[in-house]
Amino acid sequence: MNYATGRAIKIGDRVLADGMAGVVVCDFDHREFLDGHAGWDMPEAEMIGGGKLNSGVMIDTVEAGLVHYPEMTEGIVFIDS
């Protein structure tokens, strides 16, 4: 997945996600996980409410905790890495 600028989203990036400060902890497209988050690597498991964690990114936000973005949205803005 890429930011709206075209830059690739990477684990460890600090971001604003829909106005919430956070860190990218999982990249499901490339099966990359920040230390301590490898347990989220379960692409075939059905999540509560439907859907699977086989695409997009997971961002650990200060305000809302873990938020999964299955596809790119302009609401994710790169701050620094």
Domain contains 5: no
The reply to whether 1 falls in a domain is no
| Residue 9 covered by a domain | no
Residue 33 inside a domain? The answer is yes
How many domains is the chain partitioned into structurally?
1
In a domain, 3, yes or no: no
- Report phi then psi at 52, rounded to 5: -130, 155
Q: Exposed/middle/buried for 35, CB within 10 Å: 0-12, 13-18, 19+?
A: exposed
Question: Which residues form the domain of 40?
Answer: 14-80
Going by C-alpha positions, the residue among 65, 81, 55 that lies closest to residue 17 is 65
- Please state the rounded mean pLDDT for residues 50-63: 91
pLDDT, tens only, 10-29: 999 999 999 999 999 999 99
Q: Per the domain annotation, does 54 fall within a domain?
A: yes
Distance, in Å, from the CA atom of 21 to the CA atom of 59, rounded to the nearest integer, reads: 9
Q: Report CA torsion sign: 41, 43, 44, 49.
A: positive
> What is the predicted pLDDT for the residue at 44?
86
pTM: 0.91
